[in-house]
């Protein structure tokens, strides 16, 4: 009774055994906290050191309603999206431009390795450090930026730059862009290098210029990578915490308050409103889960899906042939 | 002729932009390091200078005289980062091997599951995690920052992508014939095959865990358990308000090790980013 593959049954169990540590750790440290967070969102859990939970009896969705109608949360959500958008668009454009330059055979940029190393560097540095460094740069009365402004005569005396909402938000956007365009650029370069060189050669033979080559050949061929970058960046952006927290702690006047910072403030600084923080977390969780699902459908192993389709097709044909064979006989 | 001229102009533009961006990457850190060597008075007179001054030791003394303790932060960060990275790469490799080498019923379902949860960040489930850890009185225990790394879905994903075309089942088969146990085959044969992938993933896992602020900030309340990023956040506090030189010194102390390691490993790191290993 041994099947076609004698090793099949004997070794299959190791697939399960070797996955056990991952599964246990996932259940304990990811799934349980997720479910627990969801449950807390429906309870009255608040106050330092409280752990007893009671489900809300009057209105189960009260926390969610409170959070969603909270102007502070709405503002935080708007900030998060605005900051993400304003950093993602320039970041993407810059990364695309640089990637096109670095991969263009006609310009043959020298010292690419060094440029890549330097442009990527901000990404590796602790975000907490960078946030404090920049808040020092914009310091009042004497930070480097004020020093420059006064020295070059833009202003007569130092200004309290970070009191201005637009300035504070712009600096956060700048830091985010500055930290991430290098990474996006390198991802894009590797995507462009993955395109078959023959396509570029034939475009050159056909007389396509740089701009045409970029829009008609490069861009369509890195679509998947662009989408991957978009979704991962969006998820990262929705969780932005370190920079706004340590740059101006959400200020001035909540101009740089993000949803992550809102959640942190609700739960861990002063008010200990775990229930509301949990409800806000779940709102973000749902948004991110939807984005992940989109990512999942895009990143699925396309070859495998194709293969499965083919197998099904063959089985169908085989059955059809059997059928027609019977009919013929 | 015209084409050549056009090319030259294009080239100049490219180099100007690239050099500008390169300077932009370096200048904040250069200013930081220079200001770390200048006295607070010097900084107050002119906050920008490209030339170091001689107050480095003085700044260091003021810095260490207060609650900032980089040695403690460094050690804690090192313990957490090494522990988490070791667990993450080992168990992710093991899980990936289970995906590639064995034919089990739930294999595809499990892989789909990993892909679905891969993008979900730990932050959105932090309230539940904190409550759980608080209940078992482990809030100041570094283990709570290390063990969750055993389940790193995105790393499993990339390890699997690496292993699938690389692993030859013939080697595994012949090891079996020689009487090797499955677990030993993984440790002795498969892990060495995965070295390049492990190296890349280890670097990113280490950096991510070294730079992580959110989780330690929530869990750790004991000063002796603070990690480097939390130490850094202390520099924002009132006690250093007027000590500009020392603040820059503190920031420099936290950044310098990273920059050195980065420059040493930059080749691998850039190659790793190109693989699409990380994104935030």
Where are chain B's structural domains?
1-66+244-280, 69-234
B115 contacts A183? CB cut-off 8 A: no
**For chain A, how many structural domains are there in total?**
1
**Cβ-nearest to A125 among B104, B255, B276:** B255
Measured in angstroms, the CA of A283 and the nearest CA of chain B are apart by 9
Residue B277 is predicted with a pLDDT of: 43
B5 has a chain A CB within 8 A of its CB: no
Measured in angstroms, the CA of A140 and the nearest CA of chain B are apart by 10
Specify if A234 maps to a domain: yes
Contact criterion met (CB below 8 Å) for B99 and B110: yes
Domain that holds residue A186: 72-328
H or E stretch including A172? helix A165-193
DSSP state of A139: -
In this structure, which topology does domain B69-234 adopt according to CATH?
MetI-like fold (1.10.3720)
B113 has a chain A CB within 8 A of its CB: no
- Per CB-CB distance under 8 Å, the chain A contacts of B122 are 30
User: Residue B145 in 3-state DSSP?
Assistant: helix
Specify if A272 maps to a domain: yes
In angstroms, the CA B89 to CA B113 distance is 19
The tens digit of pLDDT for each residue in B30-87 reads 999 998 898 888 887 777 888 888 888 888 888 888 777 888 999 999 999 999 999 9
- Assigned token pair, B244: 């500009």
With a CB-CB cutoff of 8 Å, which residues 159-178 of chain A face chain B? 178
The pTM of this model reads 0.87
One digit per residue, the tens of pLDDT, for chain B of length 280 reads: 566 787 888 889 999 999 999 999 999 999 999 988 988 888 877 778 888 888 888 888 888 887 778 889 999 999 999 999 999 999 999 999 999 999 998 999 999 889 888 888 888 889 999 999 998 999 899 999 999 999 999 899 989 988 988 888 899 999 999 999 999 999 999 999 999 889 888 988 999 999 999 999 999 999 899 999 998 888 887 777 778 888 899 899 888 888 998 999 888 888 888 876 443 3
Residue A325 is predicted with a pLDDT of: 66
Nearest Cα residue to A40 out of A301, A245, A263: A263
B128 contacts A32? CB cut-off 8 A: yes
Q: Which one of A10, A23, A28, A29 would you mutate to disrupt binding with B, by most B Cβ within 10 Å of its Cβ?
A: A29
**Cβ-nearest to B150 among A25, A236, A268:** A25
Specify if A27 maps to a domain: no
- Round the average pLDDT of chain B to a whole number and report it: 88
**Cβ-nearest to B211 among A23, A126, A132:** A126
Specify if A318 maps to a domain: yes
Residue in B closest to A108 by C-alpha: B11
Q: Which one of A7, A13, A22 would you mutate to disrupt binding with B, by most B Cβ within 10 Å of its Cβ?
A: A22
**Cβ-nearest to A127 among B112, B211, B273:** B211
**Which residues make beta-bridge pairs with B203?**
none
- Assigned token pair, A237: 């952006």
Measured in angstroms, the CA of B56 and the nearest CA of chain A are apart by 17
Measured in angstroms, the CA of B82 and the nearest CA of chain A are apart by 17
- Per CB-CB distance under 8 Å, the chain B contacts of A274 are 127, 131
Contact criterion met (CB below 8 Å) for B71 and B280: no
In angstroms, the CA A198 to CA B104 distance is 41
Contact criterion met (CB below 8 Å) for A87 and A173: yes
- Per CB-CB distance under 8 Å, the chain B contacts of A119 are 18, 21-22, 25
With a CB-CB cutoff of 8 Å, which residues 159-198 of chain B face chain A? 173, 182, 186
Specify if A18 maps to a domain: no
- Per CB-CB distance under 8 Å, the chain A contacts of B80 are none
User: Residue A55 in 3-state DSSP?
Assistant: strand
Specify if A16 maps to a domain: no
In angstroms, the CA A210 to CA B58 distance is 55
Q: CATH code at A146?
A: 1.10.3720.10
Q: What is the mean pLDDT of residues A106-127?
A: 89
A180 contacts B104? CB cut-off 8 A: no
Specify if A259 maps to a domain: yes
């Amino acid at each position: 009774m041994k099947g076609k593959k004698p090793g099949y049954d004997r070794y299959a169990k190791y697939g399960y055994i070797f996955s056990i540590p991952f599964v246990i750790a996932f259940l304990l440290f990811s799934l349980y906290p997720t479910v627990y967070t969801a449950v807390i969102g429906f309870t009255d859990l608040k106050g330092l050191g409280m752990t007893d939970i009671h489900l809300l009896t009057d209105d189960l969705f009260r926390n969610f309603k409170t959070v969603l109608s909270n102007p502070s949360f709405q503002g935080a959500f708007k900030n998060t999206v605005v900051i993400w958008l304003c950093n993602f668009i320039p970041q993407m454009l810059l990364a695309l431009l640089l990637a096109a330059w670095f991969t263009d055979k006609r310009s043959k940029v020298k010292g690419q390795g060094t440029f890549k190393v330097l442009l990527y560097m901000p990404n590796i540095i602790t975000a907490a450090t960078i946030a404090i460094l920049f808040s020092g740069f914009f310091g009042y009365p004497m930070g480097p930026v004020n020093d420059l402004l006064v020295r070059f005569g833009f202003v007569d005396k130092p200004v309290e730059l970070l009191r201005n909402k637009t300035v504070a938000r712009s600096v956060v956007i700048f830091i985010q862009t500055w930290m991430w365009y290098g990474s996006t650029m390198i991802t894009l370069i590797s995507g462009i290098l993955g395109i078959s060189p023959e396509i570029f050669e034939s475009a050159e033979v056909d007389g396509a210029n740089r701009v045409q080559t970029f829009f008609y050949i490069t861009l369509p061929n890195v679509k998947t990578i662009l989408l991957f970058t978009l979704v991962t960046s969006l998820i990262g952006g929705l969780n932005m915490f370190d920079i706004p927290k340590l740059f101006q702690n959400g200020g001035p006047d909540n101009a740089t308050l993000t949803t992550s910072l809102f959640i942190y403030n609700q739960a861990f600084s002063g008010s200990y409103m775990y229930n509301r923080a949990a409800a806000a977390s779940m709102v973000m969780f749902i948004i991110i889960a939807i984005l992940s699902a989109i990512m999942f459908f895009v990143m699925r192993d396309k070859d495998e899906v194709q293969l499965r389709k083919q197998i099904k097709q063959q089985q169908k044909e085989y059955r059809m042939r059997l059928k027609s064979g019977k009919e013929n006989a | 002729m015209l084409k050549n001229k056009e090319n030259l102009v294009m080239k100049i533009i490219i180099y100007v932009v690239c050099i500008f961006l390169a300077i932009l990457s370096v200048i904040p850190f250069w200013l930081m390091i220079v200001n770390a060597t200048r006295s607070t008075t010097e900084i107050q007179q002119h906050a920008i200078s490209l030339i170091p001054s001689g107050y480095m030791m003085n700044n260091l003394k003021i810095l260490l005289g207060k609650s900032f303790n980089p040695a403690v932060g460094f050690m804690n960060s090192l313990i957490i980062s090494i522990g988490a990275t070791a667990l993450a790469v080992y168990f992710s490799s093991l899980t990936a091997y289970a995906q590639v080498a064995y034919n089990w019923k739930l294999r595809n379902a499990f892989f789909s599951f990993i892909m679905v949860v891969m993008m979900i960040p730990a932050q959105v489930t932090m309230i539940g995690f904190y409550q759980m850890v608080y209940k078992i009185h482990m809030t100041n225990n570094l283990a709570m920052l290390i063990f969750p790394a055993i389940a790193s879905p995105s790393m499993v994903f990339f390890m699997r992508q690496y292993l699938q075309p690389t692993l030859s089942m013939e080697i595994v088969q012949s090891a079996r014939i020689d009487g090797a146990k499955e677990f030993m085959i993984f440790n002795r044969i498969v892990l060495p095959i995965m070295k390049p992938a492990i190296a890349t993933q280890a670097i990113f896992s280490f950096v991510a865990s070294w730079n992580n602020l959110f989780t330690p900030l929530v869990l750790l309340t004991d000063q002796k358990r603070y990690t480097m990023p939390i130490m850094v956040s202390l520099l924002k506090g009132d006690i250093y308000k007027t000590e500009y030189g020392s603040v820059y010194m503190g920031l420099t102390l936290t950044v310098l090790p990273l920059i050195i390691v980065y420059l040493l490993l930059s080749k691998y790191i850039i190659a790793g980013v190109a693989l699409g290993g990380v994104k935030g």
